[in-house]
């Protein structure tokens, strides 16, 4: 197996044994990227020379010592671009500081390497909404990799990255992980610092890993989790030993099967693979329990009020004055704002800003935003009641396998509905993971990956990873 296609654990064993060096891994990765990324389009940029210098000084005794980790291009790395997949930041913006997760990766010995493509400002489910390029699914280049962390997922699946970080606001780690056949973990809200993540929806965003194995996801989460005084939403609570808990298995655990996630909207082939994965966990000693999450049907409508409202506020900082694109020769200040944003933002970002501004406006706040927050509370209570019955919940990640590129471009609603199985976890602030559970034929000679979604209580990542390890094929 090539170094670029290896897991973190296998590379760490070879590094500490002196069989390979970090420079060898970077050389193999750069060869793979140059050979295949032109057709996949996962990377927006990478600085091999800077990574080689950093790798030469890596402390191989640390948990991630010498391992290159790719980062979604909305996570700041000092001195590197941070485009957010947008023309607004395409030219002239370089990160002036490190995100907390960047600092923690380095503290664990990792080498940040590569800026990964994403839907513009993380708004999308296909990585078609990037203003800079389209990313393709390595399993079938005619199909999407999912989004918005599509570059991160495609790079890991295509053996162009050892592992990567993504962000998840409504499924943006789990959905591309499912479509690309890798592991994708969304930690609980507050488990990982958001400092240095360019905000989409601040009450929903979380940073998490995309990896080849559950062990690798646990290893990265161990490195990046924990309190941070620079993020007031990051919780000051102990971080468990996630690797130790992986060994415990699932015997005696109660796993919920929510009827709302297995209705007629789920592709029968996807449903069959998820049910087969649940049966394997049952055979390993878990108990399957049918449960109900009755307010799930309102998750899409609730999300698409709250997330755009927060986005309209967060993106107001992009005004053509302080950084990013600035319209030439504006007539006045108002024209500067309007023209810079018209030139800099893509269609989907504009659509969400308009929607968010509308639901926050005078006369509509109570009818939409305030009501959505009340429904969000009901969704959170559904999960709280479920945790009284079960230890975790099993569900599909996406209702279908990866669709063809361009299929939903004329119908944004269909694109929004593709996140129907993932949105509730963000609204409730709980942890969730996608683990590959098989493939389905595309009908065109390719096999399309499908992920099993496992949802756990807030700060329940240790149990979540135990179950994911048992479900891993």
pLDDT in tens, the chain (473 residues): 799 999 999 999 999 999 999 999 999 999 999 999 999 999 999 999 999 999 999 999 999 999 999 999 999 999 999 999 999 999 889 999 999 999 999 999 999 999 999 999 999 999 999 999 999 999 999 999 999 999 999 999 999 999 999 999 999 999 999 999 999 999 999 999 999 999 999 999 999 999 999 999 999 999 999 999 999 999 999 999 999 989 899 999 999 999 999 988 899 999 999 999 999 999 999 999 999 999 999 999 999 999 999 999 999 999 999 889 999 989 999 999 999 999 999 999 999 999 999 999 989 999 999 999 999 999 999 999 999 999 999 999 999 999 999 987 667 777 777 899 999 999 999 999 999 999 999 999 999 999 999 999 999 999 999 999 999 99
Q: Are 166 and 152 in contact (CB under 8 A)?
A: yes
> Tokens at residue 349, please?
């970002």
Within a domain: 357: no
> How buried is 236 (Cβ within 10 angstroms: 0-12 exposed, 13-18 middle, 19+ buried)?
exposed
Q: Are 393 and 471 in contact (CB under 8 A)?
A: no
Within a domain: 335: no
- Rounded distance between C-alpha atoms, residue 291 and residue 391, angstroms: 12
> Tokens at residue 151, please?
């570059």
pLDDT at 142: 98
pLDDT at 322: 86
Handedness of CA 116, 120, 125, 126 (dihedral sign): negative
**Total number of domains constituting the chain:** 1
CB atoms inside a 10 Å sphere around CB 370: 13
Helices (H) and strands (E) in the chain, counts: 16, 11
Within a domain: 16: yes
pLDDT at 308: 98
Using the structure block, give the residue that is written with the tokens 């309190």.
Answer: 227
pLDDT at 247: 87
- Rounded distance between C-alpha atoms, residue 439 and residue 468, angstroms: 17
- Rounded distance between C-alpha atoms, residue 342 and residue 200, angstroms: 18
- Can you give the CATH number for the domain in which 190 is found? 3.90.1300.10
- Rounded distance between C-alpha atoms, residue 417 and residue 412, angstroms: 9
3-state DSSP percent of the chain in helix, strand and coil, to 5: 40, 15, 40
Sequence-distant (≥ 6) Cβ neighbours of residue 31 within 8 angstroms: 4
Summarised one tens digit per residue, pLDDT across range 402-428 is: 999 998 766 777 777 789 999 999 999
Helix (H) or strand (E) holding 48: helix 48-56
Within a domain: 183: yes
Within a domain: 317: no
Rounded (5°) CA angle 144-147-151: 80
pLDDT at 227: 98
- Residues serving a catalytic function are 72, 148, 172
pLDDT at 216: 98
pLDDT at 409: 65
Range of the domain at 403: 1-290+390-411+421-473
Sequence-distant (≥ 6) Cβ neighbours of residue 282 within 8 angstroms: 255, 288
The DSSP bridge partners found for residue 254 are 287
Q: pTM for the complete prediction?
A: 0.97
Q: Are 417 and 300 in contact (CB under 8 A)?
A: yes
């Amino acid at each position: 197996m090539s170094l670029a296609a290896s897991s973190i654990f296998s590379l760490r064993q070879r590094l500490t044994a002196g069989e390979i060096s970090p420079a060898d891994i970077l050389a193999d990765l750069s060869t793979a990227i140059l050979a295949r990324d032109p057709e996949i389009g996962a990377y927006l940029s990478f600085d091999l020379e800077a990574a080689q210098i950093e790798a030469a000084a890596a402390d191989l005794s640390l948990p991630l010592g010498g391992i290159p980790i790719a980062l979604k291009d909305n996570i700041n790395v000092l001195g590197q671009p941070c485009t957010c997949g947008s023309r607004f930041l395409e030219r002239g913006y370089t990160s002036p500081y490190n995100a907390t997760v960047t600092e923690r990766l380095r503290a664990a010995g990792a080498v940040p390497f590569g800026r990964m493509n994403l839907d513009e400002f993380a708004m999308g489910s296909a990585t078609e909404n990037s203003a800079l390029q389209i990313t393709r699914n390595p399993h079938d280049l005619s199909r999407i990799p999912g989004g918005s962390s599509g570059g991160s997922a495609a790079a890991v699946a295509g053996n162009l990255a050892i592992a990567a970080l993504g962000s998840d606001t409504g499924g943006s780690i789990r959905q591309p992980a499912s479509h690309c056949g890798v592991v994708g973990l969304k930690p609980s809200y507050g488990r990982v610092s958001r400092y240095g993540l360019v905000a989409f929806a601040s009450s929903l965003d979380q940073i998490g890993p995309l990896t080849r194995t559950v062990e690798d996801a646990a290893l990265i989460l161990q490195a990046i989790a924990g309190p941070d005084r620079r993020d007031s939403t990051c919780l000051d609570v102990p971080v468990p030993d996630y690797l130790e808990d992986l060994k415990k298995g699932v015997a005696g655990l109660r796993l919920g099967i929510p009827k709302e996630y297995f209705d007629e909207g789920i592709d029968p082939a996807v449903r069959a693979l998820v049910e087969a994965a649940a049966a394997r966990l049952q055979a390993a000693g878990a108990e399957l329990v049918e449960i109900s999450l009755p307010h799930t049907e309102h998750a899409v409508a609730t999300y698409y009020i709250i997330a755009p409202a927060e986005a309209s506020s967060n993106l107001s900082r992009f005004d053509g004055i302080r950084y990013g694109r600035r319209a030439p020769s504006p007539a006045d200040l108002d024209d500067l704002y309007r023209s810079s944003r018209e030139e800099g933002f893509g269609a989907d970002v504009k659509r969400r800003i308009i929607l968010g501004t509308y639901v926050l406006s005078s006369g509509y706040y109570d009818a939409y935003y305030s009501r959505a927050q009340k429904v969000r509370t009901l969704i959170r209570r559904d999960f709280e009641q479920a945790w009284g019955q079960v230890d975790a919940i099993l569900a599909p990640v996406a209702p279908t396998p990866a669709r063809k590129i361009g299929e939903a471009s004329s119908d944004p609603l269909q694109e929004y509905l593709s996140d129907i199985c993932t949105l509730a976890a963000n609204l409730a602030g709980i942890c969730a993971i996608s683990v590959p559970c098989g493939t389905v034929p595309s009908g065109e000679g390719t096999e399309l990956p499908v992920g099993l979604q496992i949802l756990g209580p807030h700060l329940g990542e240790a149990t979540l990873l135990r179950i994911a390890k048992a479900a891993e094929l």
